[in-house]
A and B are shown apart, each in its own frame.
Chain A
Amino acid sequence: MKFLRDKIDQIKKPFGKGEKFEKFAPAINALDTFLYVPNHTTHKGAHIRDAVDLKRTMITVILALVPALIFGMYNAGLQHFSQIEGSDMTFMPLFLFGLWKILPMIIVSYGVGLAIEFVFAIYRGHEVNEGYLVTGLLIPMIMPIDLPLWMLALSVVFAVVIGKEAFGGTGMNILNPALVARAFAFFAYPTFMSGDKVWVADATTVDGISGETILGKLAAGKEVGYNTMDMFGGYIPGSVAETSTLWILVGAAILIITGVASWRIIVSGFIGAAIMALGFEAWGANALMSFGLNHLVVGGLAFGVVFMATDPVSGAQTNTGKLIYGFLIGVFGILIRVFNPAYPEGIMLAILLLNVFAPTIDHYVIQSNVNRRKKRANVNQLKTA
C-alpha cells in the first residue's frame, strides 16, 4: 500500500503549492481522495472529527438508488420484449438488454456533468463537491429510455450550469438539479418526453403498440390494463427507474435507516399524496380521480418523494419545515396530475414548485423561534420595570 501512496504523491507533486499545475489541484485531489481519505488534521475547534464526510453520505444515496436502477434495467428489457417482440425471457437477458440501453445514458450523464463540475472547481479554486455523483445517476433514471444521448447531454449541461453553478455551486442551488434536467428536456423536446412511443425501448419502430404510462392511459380515457400489484412491482412502462414502488421503498428504507434522507419528508409526502388521492376518489369526476390510492404506486410519485424531495439543499431545512414541505409535495403532486390532462405526471412540477417555496416555509418556522425569543425578552423587561 505504501508503494501506491508514494506513487500518487509523486504524480501529485506538480500540482502542489507553488508548483506548475497548482491551479489544477482540485481535479487531481478529487481523484486522489476517492482512493484515500486525506491526511488532513484538525487545526481549530474540536480536535477530533466524526468518520462521516460528504463522500460517505453521497455514496449511501447511490447505494439506495441501486435496487431501483437494477429493476429499471430489467424492466426496460421486459417492456421491450413483451410489447414489441412478444417473447418471454428470463431475468438475465432482459437485464442485459436494459443495461446495454441505460449504461450509455449513465456514462453520458456522469461524463458531461463531472466535466463541468471539474471545470468550475478549477475556475473557482475549490475542491470538487460530491453532490453530482447522486445527481448524475438520478438524471438518467428519470428520463425515457429512448431519449437521444445528445438531448440527455444538453439537459445535463443546462441542469449543472444554470440549475446549480449559476447559483454558486453545491449547497447554493434553489432547485433540484436532476429535476431541472428533466424539466428542461420535457419543455425543450416534448415529443421525446411524453406520448405512447417513448417509454418502451424501440417502440417508435413498431406501429400500434400501447406503450403509454398508466397516467397517460388514464388521461386519455383508456383501460389501465394492469393490476395494483403489477404497478407496485413496477412491471409497467415509465421512465427508466421510477416504475417499481417496491424497490424504491427498499431504497427509502436504506435512506431512512442510515439517516441520510429525512424520514419527515418521505412520510409526510406519502401522507399528503394519500389524503389528496382519497379526497379525489370521493369526488370521482373522471378516471384520474377515481384511481384512488393507486396513485401512490404509479408514475414518479414514489421516486420523487423518496429521492428528489429529500435533496437537503433544495428542500426545507428545518424539521418542522420538512413535514410541511413533504406534505405539500404530495398534495400538489396529485393535484397537478388530476387537473392537468395535458400532462398527468405532476410530481416533478410539484417538487420544483415546493423547492421554490421551501425557504419561505423555513422562514416562518424560524420566525416562530425568533418571536418566542423576543417575547421572552419583553416579558422579562416588564417584570423588571
Chain B
Amino acid sequence: MSKDIRIKKGLDLKLKGDAEKVVSVVSRSKVYAINPSDFNGVTPKMVVKEGAKVKAGEIIFYSKNDESVKFVSPVSGTIQEIKRGEKRVILQILITADSQDIHLEHSKKNLKDLSSQEVKEQLLASGCWPFINQRPYDVIANSADTPKAIFVSAYASAPLTADVDFVLENKTEAFQAGIDALAKLTSGKVHLSLKGKEKSALENISGVSIHKVFGPHPAGNVGVQISKIDPINAGDRVWTVAPQDVATIGEFFLTGKFNATKTIALSGSEVKDAQYYTLISGAQISDLVAGKIKGDNVRIISGDIFTGNKVTQNGFLGFYSNTVTVIPEGNEYRMFGWMPFASPSIHSAQRTGLSWLMPGKKYAPNTNLNGEERALVVTGEMENVMPLDIYPMQLLKACIANDIDKMENLGIYEVAPEDFALIDYTNTSKLEAQVIIRKALNLMIKEVG
C-alpha cells in the first residue's frame, strides 16, 4: 500500500551552483583513504598492516563492538599509512592505488535461493554492511537485529545535493537487486520514498511500498518519512540505506564484486561549471576539484551544505558522501550587518530580513555565523522547520542536560542529527543543534543501548 507523505514545516533554500546533469569521469587518484570517523561509534580493529597489498573489496578493518561488521578497501593497492591520533586512535587509512583494480571475487549466487541469514553473511563479508544504518541512534546497523522495516529515501531535498534519479539512471537493475536483498532482512516492508511532483524511473521497482513525498526540505530526510509511515517507538529498530548504496549492494549480488564507484554532484557557488562526476569512494578531493574552483578562500564540504564535513584539498571523499559542495568562506567582518533588513544578499528565514519578500531569489551563502552564540531566547522558530512531532527546543535542552528520561519522553529515538540541520541554520542563538543531538545519541547508546 502506498501512502503519500505531505509535510508543511521546513525550508527550501534556493542556492546558486546547482550541478548540471552531465557526468564526467574523474581520473584515478594516486591515494585513497578510509576515515573511520565517517562511521559513528565504530572503533576500528585493523586486519592489515602498513605495506600490505590489498585487492578492492578486501577487508581492512572491522568494528571492535561488532566484529562481523567489516570495512573493505575501495581500490586495489598497498596500505601506505595508518594515521593515528591521541591514544593511538586510528584517524585515517591511506591506500596507494594500483593503476587498475583487481577485485576480490565472491561466489555469485542467485538472490532468490538465499535465506535471510545467507544474505546477511554475504553483505557482512563483502563490506556492504556499513551502508545499512539503524534508527534510533543513526549508526551502522547491528547485524544481530531484524528490523521492523527498512527505509530508502530516493528524494534528496537538501539544497545542491545529487539528484537521485539522475545518479541511478543506468543502475535500475542493480537497484532492484539491492531492494530484493534488503527485503530478505526485515520482518516488515521495504519502503521507498520518491519526490512527489516528478516522474521517476524508480516507480517501477517491485517488492517495495512506494511513497510520494511532497513538501519542503527536510521532506527528503528518511527520518521524517519514517515518522509519517511507521514511527519508531522505544525498543524498535528500523534500518535505512541511501539509494546509491542500495544499487552498490545490488551490484554486489549481481556480479560478486564490491564496486565502490559512485556518481556524485560537485556543486556550490564557488564551483566552475558545476556538474556530476563518477569516481571511487575515498578519492582525494584535489583530484575532483582541481581547476574547478573559482576563488581561493573557499570551504570544501564532503557532503551537503547542512550535514557534510569540512575537508581540505588534501582530504578525501567521505564514505557516505554523494555531493561535494564548495562555498565561499565567510571569515570577514560586515559593518552593521545585524540591523534589521540589512544585508539582503544573505538569506534569512525570519521576516526581520528581506528574503520573505523575494521568494524566487537564489543565494550564494558563505560560512559566516552571521552573529555570535547567545542564550536561547527566541521561542517558536525551531518548530517552524521541524516536521517531526516533537518539541525541538525542549528536546535539545534535555540533551544539553544529559537527562535521559526526558530525552526518551521527548522523542530522542525518532531523530538523527540531520533532522536538526535546519535548526542549526535558522536559530537566532546560533546553537549547534546537530552536535548536541549527536552527543546525546552517543550517550543513549552507552546508557540504554
| Contact call A129/B374, Cβ cutoff below 8 A | yes
Q: Does A63 belong to the interface (CB within 8 Å)?
A: yes
**How distant is B118 from chain A, measured CB to nearest CB, in Å?**
26
Question: Which of A29, A56, A262, A317 has the largest count of B CB atoms less than 10 A from its CB?
Answer: A56
Return chain B residues, CB-CB under 8 Å to A63. 340
Q: Does B383 belong to the interface (CB within 8 Å)?
A: yes
Within residues 226 to 266 of chain A, which ones have a CB less than 8 A from any CB in chain B?
A: 257-260, 262
| Contact call B432/A45, Cβ cutoff below 8 A | yes
Return chain A residues, CB-CB under 8 Å to B428. 50, 52-54, 57
Q: How large is the interface on B (under 10, 10 to 19, 20 to 34, 35 or more residues)?
A: 35 or more
Q: Report Cα–Cα, A366/B366, bound state, in Å.
A: 37
Q: Does B446 belong to the interface (CB within 8 Å)?
A: no
Kindly identify which residue among A46, A60, A369 contacts B421, using a CB–CB cutoff of 8 Å: A46
Q: Beyond A59-B338, A369-B389, A376-B231, is A44–B351 a contact (Cβ under 8 Å)?
A: no
| Contact call A35/B335, Cβ cutoff below 8 A | yes
Q: Does B204 belong to the interface (CB within 8 Å)?
A: no
Q: Does A20 belong to the interface (CB within 8 Å)?
A: no
Q: Does A22 belong to the interface (CB within 8 Å)?
A: no
Q: Does A7 belong to the interface (CB within 8 Å)?
A: no
Q: Report Cα–Cα, A315/B379, bound state, in Å.
A: 9
Q: Which residue of B lies closest to A2 (CB)?
A: B333
Kindly identify which residue among A5, A36, A172, A318 contacts B391, using a CB–CB cutoff of 8 Å: A318
Q: Does A11 belong to the interface (CB within 8 Å)?
A: no
| Contact call B375/A171, Cβ cutoff below 8 A | yes
Return chain A residues, CB-CB under 8 Å to B422. 46
Q: Report Cα–Cα, A46/B352, bound state, in Å.
A: 21
Return chain B residues, CB-CB under 8 Å to A369. 389-391, 410-411
Q: Does A37 belong to the interface (CB within 8 Å)?
A: yes
Kindly identify which residue among B234, B333, B371 contacts A53, using a CB–CB cutoff of 8 Å: B371
The segment out of B206-214, B270-278, B302-310 that lies at the interface is: B302-310
Q: Does B426 belong to the interface (CB within 8 Å)?
A: yes
Within residues 20 to 34 of chain A, which ones have a CB less than 8 A from any CB in chain B?
A: 29, 33-34
Q: Does B332 belong to the interface (CB within 8 Å)?
A: yes
Return chain B residues, CB-CB under 8 Å to A43. 310
Return chain A residues, CB-CB under 8 Å to B380. 262, 312, 317, 319, 322
Q: Does B378 belong to the interface (CB within 8 Å)?
A: yes
Kindly identify which residue among A37, A129, A374 contacts B333, using a CB–CB cutoff of 8 Å: A37
Kindly identify which residue among A47, A50, A372 contacts B349, using a CB–CB cutoff of 8 Å: A50
Q: Beyond A129-B374, A369-B389, A372-B389, is A37–B337 a contact (Cβ under 8 Å)?
A: yes
Q: Report Cα–Cα, A52/B435, bound state, in Å.
A: 20
Return chain B residues, CB-CB under 8 Å to A55. 338, 371
Within residues 40 to 83 of chain A, which ones have a CB less than 8 A from any CB in chain B?
A: 40-57, 59-60, 63
Q: Does B256 belong to the interface (CB within 8 Å)?
A: no
| Contact call A52/B377, Cβ cutoff below 8 A | no
Q: Report Cα–Cα, A56/B342, bound state, in Å.
A: 9
Map CB proximity to B onto A196-233 as digits: 1 under 8 Å, 0 otherwise. Answer: 00000000000000000000000000000000000000
Q: Which residue of B lies closest to A311 (CB)?
A: B377
Kindly identify which residue among B338, B368, B374, B411 contacts A170, using a CB–CB cutoff of 8 Å: B374
Q: Does B196 belong to the interface (CB within 8 Å)?
A: no
Q: Does B334 belong to the interface (CB within 8 Å)?
A: yes
Q: Report Cα–Cα, A315/B378, bound state, in Å.
A: 11
Return chain A residues, CB-CB under 8 Å to B391. 318, 366, 369
Within residues 411 to 443 of chain B, which ones have a CB less than 8 A from any CB in chain A?
A: 411, 421-422, 424-430, 432-435
**How distant is B53 from chain A, measured CB to nearest CB, in Å?**
37
Kindly identify which residue among B305, B332, B371 contacts A52, using a CB–CB cutoff of 8 Å: B371
26 A-B pairs (CB sep. < 8 Å): A37-B335, A39-B331, A39-B333, A40-B372, A41-B329, A41-B331, A41-B366, A46-B424, A48-B365, A49-B365, A49-B430, A50-B427, A51-B343, A52-B352, A53-B338, A53-B370, A54-B428, A56-B342, A60-B352, A260-B352, A313-B377, A315-B379, A322-B380, A370-B410, A373-B411, A380-B233
A-B pairs, 4 with minimum CB distance: A53-B371, A171-B375, A37-B337, A377-B233
Residues of B at the A interface (CB closer than 8 Å) are 231, 233-236, 299, 301, 305-308, 310, 325, 327, 329-340, 342-343, 346-353, 355, 365-380, 383, 389-391, 393-394, 409-411, 421-422, 424-430, 432-435
